[in-house]
Structure 1
Amino acid sequence: MQTADDAAYAGRHVQVDGVELLNFGGCSYLGLEQRTELRDGAIAAIRRYGTQFSFSRAYVQSPLYQQLEAALDAMTGGFALVAPSTTLAHIAALPVLVQPGDAVLVDLLTHASVHVASGLLGSTPVTSVPHNDIDRLDHKIARLANKYRRIWLLLDGLYSMHGDFAPLEPLRALMQKHPALHLYMDDAHATSWLGKHGRGWVLDNLSERDRVVVALSLNKAFSAGGSALILPTAQARATVRRCGGPMLFSGPVPPPMLGAAVASAELHLRPEFSDLQRDVMERIDLVLALAEQLGVHFVTEERSPIFFVHCGHLGAMVHLTRALRTRGIYVSPCPFPSVPTGQEGIRFTVSRHNTEEDIRYLMEALSIENRKLHEGQESGTIAIEHGLPPDPIETPVAS
C-alpha cells in the first residue's frame, strides 16, 4: 500500500520514497498508456464531451460506447458489452446468466472479483473446486448434471498471481462430454498482449463459444478503462445490459477513458499490432531462458508475462523483496490473502517498458539474492523463519 511519488511516469521506472526503481510490477504489458494515439483519443473525448457524460447508461449512453463495442466485436468475433470495471462486469453478468435450476463451480484460484460475484447468486449452489483439476471436475459435473439444468464453471483464462493458463483443451473435451457445461472466464490478464487482435487466451483458442462467456479488461495491457464482456449472442448481450444491476445503477465509463479505449481498439485492429505482441513474447522468452541459466525457479514456466517465485513464508518474502529494492528493483510482494498462508512469494511482470538490460539485471539480482536468502537461512546467519525481518539499513539505490 505504497504511493508513487509525484514524478513523471514513462513506464520503465516507478519512483517511490524519492527512489527511482526499475518497474517489474505493473500490468501494462504492451506499454500502450504512453502511445500518442491513446493520449489523443482521451484528449479529443474530453474536448468534445467534457470530463464526464453524466447520464445513467440505462437512459442515455455516450456515442463512444457504440464505437468501442463495434471495434471490440471486430477484435473478438463476439458480442461485446462494455462495463465500468471487470468486477462490475462479473456482478452484472453472473446473476443474469445463471438461472434457477443451474449450479455453479468456481476454480479455487479464480480472481477474487469472480468469487465476489458468485456470492450474489442467492439460492444457486456454488462450490469451489481445486485449481485446474480436470478429473475432479469431470466427476463433479457428471454428478451435478443429473440434478441441475446447466453447470457453470467460473475460472480465469490467465491466472494473475502465478501466470498459469487455463487448460483449454481438457476444458473443450469436458464441454463435448457434458452438454450442460458452460464456461464463464475472466481473461483480464491475457487481454491485448495475446491472441489475434489482442483478444486473449480463451477467445483465441476456443473456436466453439456458444456456451462460453469471457470477460476482458480494458485496463492492464489495453491501457484504457473499464471491461468488456464477450457474449455468444446479441440476445445475451442485450439481456445483460438490460438486467445486469451495475449496467443500470453504476456510473458510466468517463469520456476520456472511452476515447482512449476506442483508440486502443483501433490500434489492436491494425496489422502492425502483432509486432507489439512479439516484443512482449521476446521479453518473456528472455526471462525463461535466464531463469534456466541462473537456477531461478518459478511456480509455473508458461509463456506469460507474470512470474512467481515461491518464498515459503512471510519473512522470507519480505526479505527478498527488500533485497531487490536495495538494488533498485520494484517487484510485488505477495502475502496472504493474495496467496494462501505458507505460499508467500514475489511476483514480477515484464512489459515492453523493460529493456533487455533491465531484464538481465533483474534476473541476476534475483538469482543472487534468492541464493543468499536460502544459504543464510540454512547457516543461521539469516534468522527470519516466520516473522518479519528488520528494516534494511541500506538506502535503496536506483539502477
Structure 2
Amino acid sequence: MMTTYAPSRLLPLIEHRIGKTAGAGLMMLTADSTEYAGRQVQIGGRVLLNFGGCSYLGLEQRPELNDAAVRAIRRYGTQFSYSRAYLQSPLYLQLESALEAMTGGFPLVAPSTTLAHMAALPVLVHPGDAVLIDVFTHASVKMATCLLDGIPVATVPHFDIDRLEQKIARLACKHRRVWLLLDGLYSMYGDFAPVSDLAALMQKYPTLHLYVDDAHSTSWLGKHGRGFILEHFADRRRIVAVLSLNKAFSAGGGAVIFSDAEDRTRVQRCGGPMLFSGPVPPPMLGAAVASAELHLRPDFSELQKGLTDRIDLVLSLARQLDIRFVTNDRSPMFFVPCGELEAMFRFAQGLRARGIYTCPGGFPAVPKGQEGIRFTVSLSNTEMDIRHLMESISSEQRNTKGRSDAPSGKRVRAATPSARAVADGRSR
C-alpha cells in the first residue's frame, strides 16, 4: 500500500525513548563555554575526546574560512535581509560558481539541506510520477515527501535490491517516472549506497530517477569533495544530488546539484523555501566560498587522504580487537551494536567514564532493540586518540559479554560493492 511519511503516530514512543536517553545523560546536552578546537569537547566540566562530530576534515578551524567569515561580516553585516527571490548577496554567485567547478553540475544553494529537499522535491516530482524511499533515508527527505500532494509514496527495505526492483517494475508500468529517494552515505551505520546495483537498475528502467541526500560524504570523498554519488556516476542525467555545506564542508547551508540547468531554474523560481526562507547569512556564505576554493586546490586530496588513513586505522584495529560493527564500509562513521536501550546506556556511559564522547544510536534513527553506539573519526583525532577509543570499545564489549541483554552476535554485513570501489580507488 502506498502511504506518505506520517510520523505523528510514533511521537509518544519517540518522546519516551529520547527522554530516557536524555535522562541517562547521553542526549540534549550543552557543551561548556570553553574554546573548541575539534579534538576534545568539554561537557559538565569534563574534557572528553571527541568522536561524535561531523566535521570530518576539521575545516571549521582553518584560517581561510574564519578570515572569510569575518570579511563578509565587515562588508555585508551579520545578515543580508532580503528574500533571495528579490535580491541576493553577491556571495551566492561566487559560491555557486565554485560549486559548479567542484561538481560539474548546476548547483543551487539553499539555507539548509532540509529546506533544499522541501524546495526541490515538490518541483521535480510531477503528477503521474511515483516515489520510493529507502527506509533508512534521512528524516529530512522523508519530511519533504509530505509535500508531494497526490503523489504515491512508499518505503522500501534498506538495500534489498530484489524487492526494490519488484516495486520499480510494478510502478514503471503505471507511472511516467519512478523516483528513488536515498542517501549516498547513511549517517547511522556509515554504509554507502550500492552504486553498481543502482546503475544496473537505471539502465534496465529508463523511467527510474535517483534523488540522493549525500550530505555525509560531501567534502571528504570524491574529486574536489563532490561526494560519493557524483563521484560514481559519470552519466547524471537522471540523478539529483544534495550536498551539505555544513558537516565536513564546515560552513552553512546546502546545495542541490542538478544535471539540467532548466531544472535548477524551475526549483529556484518555484521551490517554496527558495522564495520565502531567510537567506544564508553573509558570514556563512563567506566561509562557504573559502571552503569551496579550498576544495578546488590541488593539495585538497591530501586532507582527504589524512581522513581515509584514520578510517583504515579504525578498521584495522577492529579486526585485531574483534570489534563488531554493523557495517565495515570505508566511511568515517561506525556503529557498534549493543542490543536494547539500557545496554546502549551502559556502553555509552562506560566510554564517557574512560574520557570518550560518542553518540547514542537509538529509535527512531535505528530499529527498536537494535540500539548502539555511533562514533565518527575526523582529522582532529590523533592516532593515539583512535587507539584509546578502540581499546576502550573492546574493553566495554568484554564487560557486556555474557549479559542477557548483550548483543546477540548479529552477523556483520560485508562491505558493499560501492564501498570496495572506494577502498580500491575506483569510480564508475
Give the letter for the 1:75 counterpart. M
Is 1:142 the counterpart of 2:152? The answer is no
Partner Cα separation in structure 2 for residue 169 and residue 335 of structure 1? 30
Is 1:237 the counterpart of 2:267? The answer is no
Equivalent in the alignment of 1:339: 366
Give the letter for the 1:215 counterpart. V
The answer to whether the Cα contact below 8 Å between 1:315 and 1:384 also exists between their aligned partners in 2 is: no
CA RMSD of aligned residues (A): 1.0
Deviation at residue 370 of structure 1 after TM alignment:
1.3
Deviation at residue 363 of structure 1 after TM alignment:
0.1
Equivalent in the alignment of 1:75: 102
Aligned to 1:247, the other structure's residue is in SS state: helix
Give the letter for the 1:338 counterpart. A
Equivalent in the alignment of 1:174: 201
In structure 2, stretches of 5+ residues that fail to align are 1-27, 408-428
Is 1:64 the counterpart of 2:91? The answer is yes
Aligned to 2:317, the other structure's residue is in SS state: helix
Identity level (%): 69
Aligned to 2:210, the other structure's residue is in SS state: strand
| Equivalence map 1:178-217=2 (5 Å) | 178-217=205-244
| Equivalence map 1:316-331=2 (5 Å) | 316-331=343-358
Partner Cα separation in structure 2 for residue 335 and residue 166 of structure 1? 21
Partner Cα separation in structure 2 for residue 140 and residue 269 of structure 1? 40
Partner Cα separation in structure 2 for residue 309 and residue 145 of structure 1? 38
The normalised TM-score by structure 1 is 0.94
Give the letter for the 2:142 counterpart. H
Partner Cα separation in structure 2 for residue 296 and residue 25 of structure 1? 18
Equivalent in the alignment of 1:52: 79
Is 1:307 the counterpart of 2:350? The answer is no
* 1:94-144 CA distance string (max 9 Å, x none): 000000000000000000001000111011000000011111111111111
Partner Cα separation in structure 2 for residue 289 and residue 384 of structure 1? 24
Aligned to 2:52, the other structure's residue is in SS state: coil
* 1:255-311 CA distance string (max 9 Å, x none): 000000000000000000000000000000000000000010100001000000011
Equivalent in the alignment of 1:392: none
Deviation at residue 323 of structure 1 after TM alignment:
0.3
Partner Cα separation in structure 2 for residue 384 and residue 235 of structure 1? 54
Partner Cα separation in structure 1 for residue 180 and residue 167 of structure 2? 11
Partner Cα separation in structure 1 for residue 66 and residue 182 of structure 2? 33
Partner Cα separation in structure 2 for residue 360 and residue 172 of structure 1? 38
Partner Cα separation in structure 2 for residue 224 and residue 69 of structure 1? 14
The answer to whether the Cα contact below 8 Å between 2:132 and 2:156 also exists between their aligned partners in 1 is: yes
Partner Cα separation in structure 2 for residue 77 and residue 134 of structure 1? 29
Aligned to 2:302, the other structure's residue is in SS state: helix
Select the residue among 375, 380, 383 that pairs with 1:353.
380
Count of equivalent residues: 380
Equivalent in the alignment of 1:396: none
Q: Give 4+ residue runs of structure 1 displaced > 6 Å after superposition.
A: none
Equivalent in the alignment of 2:54: 27
Equivalent in the alignment of 1:6: 33
Equivalent in the alignment of 1:41: 68
Partner Cα separation in structure 2 for residue 146 and residue 294 of structure 1? 51
Partner Cα separation in structure 1 for residue 330 and residue 222 of structure 2? 13
Aligned to 1:291, the other structure's residue is in SS state: helix
Aligned to 2:327, the other structure's residue is in SS state: coil
Equivalent in the alignment of 1:393: none
Deviation at residue 218 of structure 1 after TM alignment:
0.2
Select the residue among 172, 175, 182 that pairs with 1:155.
182
The answer to whether the Cα contact below 8 Å between 2:31 and 2:44 also exists between their aligned partners in 1 is: yes
Deviation at residue 314 of structure 1 after TM alignment:
0.3
Is 1:295 the counterpart of 2:316? The answer is no
The answer to whether the Cα contact below 8 Å between 2:117 and 2:141 also exists between their aligned partners in 1 is: yes
Relative to structure 1, the CA distance from residue 133 to residue 384 in structure 2 (aligned partners, 3 Å threshold; closer, same or farther) is closer
Deviation at residue 334 of structure 1 after TM alignment:
1.1
Select the residue among 111, 119, 122 that pairs with 1:92.
119
Equivalent in the alignment of 1:388: none
Partner Cα separation in structure 1 for residue 34 and residue 236 of structure 2? 45
Partner Cα separation in structure 2 for residue 371 and residue 82 of structure 1? 47
Partner Cα separation in structure 2 for residue 256 and residue 374 of structure 1? 50
Aligned to 1:154, the other structure's residue is in SS state: strand
Partner Cα separation in structure 1 for residue 30 and residue 256 of structure 2? 31
Partner Cα separation in structure 2 for residue 82 and residue 366 of structure 1? 40
Partner Cα separation in structure 1 for residue 366 and residue 87 of structure 2? 42
Deviation at residue 384 of structure 1 after TM alignment:
9.0
Aligned to 2:30, the other structure's residue is in SS state: coil
Equivalent in the alignment of 2:12: none
The answer to whether the Cα contact below 8 Å between 2:400 and 2:406 also exists between their aligned partners in 1 is: no
Is 1:110 the counterpart of 2:137? The answer is yes
Aligned to 1:59, the other structure's residue is in SS state: coil
* 1:233-276 CA distance string (max 9 Å, x none): 11111000000000000100000000000000000000000000
Partner Cα separation in structure 1 for residue 291 and residue 339 of structure 2? 40
The normalised TM-score by structure 2 is 0.88
Give the letter for the 2:322 counterpart. G
Give the letter for the 2:213 counterpart. D
Equivalent in the alignment of 2:425: none
